[in-house]
A = this chain, B = another copy of it.
Amino acid sequence: MREGILFVISAPSGAGKTSLCKEIIDFFPELRQSVSFTTRFPRAGEQDGVDYFFVSPLEFRRMVDAGEFVEWAEVHGNCYGTARKSLDLWQSQGMDVVLDIDCQGAAQLKKSCDSAVFIFILPPGVDELRRRLTGRNLDTAEVIERRIQNAEGEIREARWYDYIIINDRLELAAEKLKGVIMAERSRTCRILPLIRTTFPSLRDT
Protein backbone atom coordinates (compact mmCIF):
# COMPACT_ATOMS: atom_id res chain seq x y z
CA MET A 1 0.00 0.00 0.00
CA ARG A 2 1.09 3.58 -0.54
CA GLU A 3 0.29 6.66 1.51
CA GLY A 4 -2.73 8.68 0.46
CA ILE A 5 -2.07 11.75 -1.68
CA LEU A 6 -3.17 15.19 -0.49
CA PHE A 7 -4.53 17.28 -3.36
CA VAL A 8 -4.63 20.90 -2.22
CA ILE A 9 -6.85 23.07 -4.41
CA SER A 10 -6.98 26.85 -4.17
CA ALA A 11 -8.61 29.54 -6.26
CA PRO A 12 -9.82 33.11 -5.99
CA SER A 13 -13.57 33.14 -5.36
CA GLY A 14 -15.47 32.99 -8.63
CA ALA A 15 -12.90 30.75 -10.35
CA GLY A 16 -15.28 27.81 -10.15
CA LYS A 17 -13.41 25.73 -7.59
CA THR A 18 -16.52 24.31 -5.91
CA SER A 19 -18.02 23.04 -9.20
CA LEU A 20 -14.66 21.56 -10.22
CA CYS A 21 -14.21 19.80 -6.89
CA LYS A 22 -17.70 18.36 -7.25
CA GLU A 23 -16.86 17.05 -10.72
CA ILE A 24 -13.79 15.18 -9.54
CA ILE A 25 -15.46 13.80 -6.42
CA ASP A 26 -18.20 12.44 -8.69
CA PHE A 27 -15.61 10.97 -11.06
CA PHE A 28 -13.36 9.51 -8.35
CA PRO A 29 -15.82 8.43 -5.65
CA GLU A 30 -12.92 6.97 -3.64
CA LEU A 31 -11.52 10.47 -3.07
CA ARG A 32 -12.12 11.88 0.39
CA GLN A 33 -12.96 15.55 0.71
CA SER A 34 -11.82 17.25 3.85
CA VAL A 35 -14.47 19.39 5.54
CA SER A 36 -13.03 22.61 6.98
CA PHE A 37 -13.89 24.23 10.26
CA THR A 38 -15.03 27.83 10.07
CA THR A 39 -16.21 30.64 12.28
CA ARG A 40 -18.33 32.25 9.58
CA PHE A 41 -22.12 31.93 9.54
CA PRO A 42 -23.68 29.30 7.25
CA ARG A 43 -25.02 30.59 3.93
CA ALA A 44 -28.48 29.50 2.81
CA GLY A 45 -28.46 25.77 2.12
CA GLU A 46 -25.12 25.06 3.77
CA GLN A 47 -25.07 22.12 6.17
CA ASP A 48 -22.94 21.64 9.26
CA GLY A 49 -20.57 18.71 8.76
CA VAL A 50 -21.11 18.70 4.99
CA ASP A 51 -20.05 22.11 3.68
CA TYR A 52 -18.19 23.12 6.83
CA PHE A 53 -18.06 22.40 10.50
CA PHE A 54 -19.46 25.67 11.84
CA VAL A 55 -17.88 26.53 15.18
CA SER A 56 -17.71 29.56 17.46
CA PRO A 57 -14.64 31.82 17.44
CA LEU A 58 -13.94 30.57 20.97
CA GLU A 59 -13.99 26.89 19.95
CA PHE A 60 -11.86 27.69 16.89
CA ARG A 61 -9.29 29.42 19.11
CA ARG A 62 -9.21 26.39 21.41
CA MET A 63 -8.50 24.11 18.43
CA VAL A 64 -5.71 26.43 17.21
CA ASP A 65 -4.11 26.45 20.67
CA ALA A 66 -4.42 22.66 20.94
CA GLY A 67 -2.61 22.24 17.60
CA GLU A 68 -5.58 20.47 16.07
CA PHE A 69 -5.22 22.21 12.68
CA VAL A 70 -2.70 21.38 9.95
CA GLU A 71 -3.48 24.81 8.58
CA TRP A 72 -5.77 27.66 9.42
CA ALA A 73 -6.23 31.17 8.12
CA GLU A 74 -8.32 34.28 8.46
CA VAL A 75 -10.02 35.25 5.20
CA HIS A 76 -12.37 38.22 4.77
CA GLY A 77 -12.62 38.45 8.57
CA ASN A 78 -13.55 34.79 9.16
CA CYS A 79 -11.38 31.87 10.27
CA TYR A 80 -11.05 28.61 8.35
CA GLY A 81 -9.05 25.55 9.35
CA THR A 82 -8.34 21.92 8.45
CA ALA A 83 -8.24 19.38 11.27
CA ARG A 84 -5.19 17.15 11.39
CA LYS A 85 -7.05 14.10 12.67
CA SER A 86 -9.07 12.93 9.66
CA LEU A 87 -6.26 13.83 7.23
CA ASP A 88 -3.77 11.65 9.10
CA LEU A 89 -6.23 8.79 9.27
CA TRP A 90 -7.07 8.89 5.54
CA GLN A 91 -3.45 9.22 4.51
CA SER A 92 -2.38 6.27 6.61
CA GLN A 93 -5.20 4.21 5.02
CA GLY A 94 -3.87 5.07 1.54
CA MET A 95 -6.87 7.24 0.72
CA ASP A 96 -6.38 10.29 -1.48
CA VAL A 97 -7.84 13.49 -0.10
CA VAL A 98 -8.99 16.72 -1.70
CA LEU A 99 -8.43 19.84 0.37
CA ASP A 100 -10.21 22.96 -0.80
CA ILE A 101 -8.33 25.73 1.00
CA ASP A 102 -7.14 29.27 0.46
CA CYS A 103 -3.59 30.35 -0.39
CA GLN A 104 -2.59 31.20 3.18
CA GLY A 105 -3.61 27.76 4.39
CA ALA A 106 -1.98 26.09 1.40
CA ALA A 107 1.27 27.95 2.08
CA GLN A 108 1.26 26.59 5.66
CA LEU A 109 0.67 23.04 4.37
CA LYS A 110 3.44 23.44 1.80
CA LYS A 111 5.87 23.85 4.69
CA SER A 112 4.67 20.88 6.73
CA CYS A 113 3.61 18.46 3.98
CA ASP A 114 6.06 18.39 1.12
CA SER A 115 4.42 15.45 -0.65
CA ALA A 116 1.08 17.23 -1.11
CA VAL A 117 0.10 18.26 -4.63
CA PHE A 118 -0.80 21.94 -5.01
CA ILE A 119 -3.28 22.94 -7.69
CA PHE A 120 -4.41 26.48 -8.45
CA ILE A 121 -7.62 27.16 -10.38
CA LEU A 122 -7.69 30.40 -12.33
CA PRO A 123 -10.57 32.14 -14.08
CA PRO A 124 -9.79 32.93 -17.75
CA GLY A 125 -9.34 36.60 -16.81
CA VAL A 126 -10.25 39.34 -14.34
CA ASP A 127 -13.20 40.59 -16.42
CA GLU A 128 -14.71 37.12 -16.52
CA LEU A 129 -14.17 36.83 -12.76
CA ARG A 130 -16.13 40.06 -12.21
CA ARG A 131 -18.89 38.74 -14.47
CA ARG A 132 -19.11 35.47 -12.51
CA LEU A 133 -19.11 37.13 -9.09
CA THR A 134 -21.85 39.52 -10.22
CA GLY A 135 -23.86 36.69 -11.83
CA ARG A 136 -24.09 34.53 -8.74
CA ASN A 137 -25.96 37.27 -6.84
CA LEU A 138 -24.35 36.42 -3.52
CA ASP A 139 -22.50 39.64 -2.78
CA THR A 140 -22.99 43.37 -2.93
CA ALA A 141 -21.07 45.43 -5.50
CA GLU A 142 -18.73 46.55 -2.73
CA VAL A 143 -17.99 42.98 -1.61
CA ILE A 144 -17.43 41.97 -5.24
CA GLU A 145 -14.84 44.72 -5.71
CA ARG A 146 -13.10 43.61 -2.50
CA ARG A 147 -13.13 40.01 -3.74
CA ILE A 148 -11.56 41.09 -7.02
CA GLN A 149 -8.85 43.05 -5.26
CA ASN A 150 -8.20 40.03 -3.05
CA ALA A 151 -8.20 37.79 -6.14
CA GLU A 152 -5.40 39.82 -7.71
CA GLY A 153 -3.26 39.22 -4.65
CA GLU A 154 -4.19 35.53 -4.51
CA ILE A 155 -3.39 35.00 -8.19
CA ARG A 156 0.20 36.06 -7.47
CA GLU A 157 0.40 32.98 -5.21
CA ALA A 158 -0.32 30.68 -8.17
CA ARG A 159 3.41 30.87 -8.97
CA TRP A 160 4.46 28.39 -6.29
CA TYR A 161 1.68 25.85 -6.92
CA ASP A 162 2.54 22.65 -8.83
CA TYR A 163 -0.25 23.00 -11.36
CA ILE A 164 -2.35 25.84 -12.75
CA ILE A 165 -5.70 25.04 -14.35
CA ILE A 166 -7.53 27.76 -16.23
CA ASN A 167 -11.25 27.28 -15.78
CA ASP A 168 -12.47 28.59 -19.09
CA ARG A 169 -14.90 25.77 -19.86
CA LEU A 170 -15.88 23.63 -16.88
CA GLU A 171 -15.73 20.27 -18.72
CA LEU A 172 -12.27 20.98 -20.11
CA ALA A 173 -10.94 22.19 -16.76
CA ALA A 174 -12.43 19.11 -15.08
CA GLU A 175 -10.61 16.89 -17.60
CA LYS A 176 -7.34 18.61 -16.73
CA LEU A 177 -7.95 18.24 -13.03
CA LYS A 178 -8.73 14.54 -13.47
CA GLY A 179 -5.54 14.31 -15.51
CA VAL A 180 -3.52 15.75 -12.64
CA ILE A 181 -5.01 13.24 -10.21
CA MET A 182 -4.37 10.30 -12.53
CA ALA A 183 -0.84 11.50 -13.29
CA GLU A 184 0.07 12.00 -9.64
CA ARG A 185 -1.19 8.51 -8.87
CA SER A 186 1.05 7.21 -11.69
CA ARG A 187 4.22 8.85 -10.33
CA THR A 188 7.00 6.30 -10.01
CA CYS A 189 7.46 6.96 -6.30
CA ARG A 190 3.80 6.08 -5.72
CA ILE A 191 3.64 3.06 -8.07
CA LEU A 192 6.86 1.33 -6.99
CA PRO A 193 5.62 0.30 -3.53
CA LEU A 194 2.58 -1.30 -5.21
CA ILE A 195 4.43 -3.40 -7.80
CA ARG A 196 7.58 -4.55 -6.05
CA THR A 197 6.13 -7.96 -5.34
CA THR A 198 4.94 -8.39 -8.96
CA PHE A 199 8.31 -7.81 -10.64
CA PRO A 200 11.33 -9.66 -9.25
CA SER A 201 13.74 -7.11 -10.75
CA LEU A 202 12.18 -4.29 -8.68
CA ARG A 203 12.30 -6.17 -5.40
CA ASP A 204 15.60 -4.73 -4.12
CA THR A 205 14.74 -1.08 -4.81
A residues sitting closer than 8 Å to B (CB atoms) are 120, 122, 124-126, 152-153, 155-156, 158-166, 175-176, 178-188, 191-192, 195, 198-202, 205
Q: List residues of chain B with CB within 8 A of the CB of A124.
A: 198
List of B residues within 8 angstroms of A122 by Cβ: 195, 199
Evaluate contact between B201 and A188: CB separation under 8 angstroms: no
Q: Which residues of B contact A165 (CB under 8 A)?
A: 186
B188, A182: Cβ atoms closer than 8 Å: no
Counted per complex, copies of this chain come to 2
Chain B residue, CB-CB nearest to A120: B188
Q: What separation, in Å, do the CA atoms of A186 and B200 have in the docked complex?
A: 35
The minimal Cβ–Cβ distance linking A120 to chain B, given in whole angstroms, is 8
**Other-chain residue from B120, B158, B180, B205 in contact with A182 (beta carbon distance below 8 A):** B180
On chain B, the residues within 8 Å of A195 by CB distance are 122, 164, 166
Tell whether, in the assembled complex, residue B186 and residue A164 are in contact, meaning their CB atoms are under 8 Å apart.
yes
- Subset of 22 A-B contacts with CB under 8 Å: A122-B195, A152-B199, A152-B200, A155-B199, A155-B201, A156-B201, A156-B202, A158-B202, A159-B205, A162-B187, A163-B183, A163-B186, A164-B186, A164-B195, A165-B186, A166-B191, A166-B195, A176-B183, A178-B182, A180-B183, A180-B186, A183-B183
Residue contact B201 to A153, C-beta cutoff 8 Å: yes
Chain B residues whose C-beta falls within 8 Å of the C-beta of A160 in the assembled complex: 188
Q: How far is the CB of A11 from chain B (nearest CB, A)?
A: 13
Is B152 a contact partner of A198 (Cβ separation < 8 A)?
no
Give complex CA distance A201, B154 in Å.
9
Give bound CA distance, A199 to B12, whole Å: 13
Docked pose: A125 CA to B158 CA in angstroms? 41
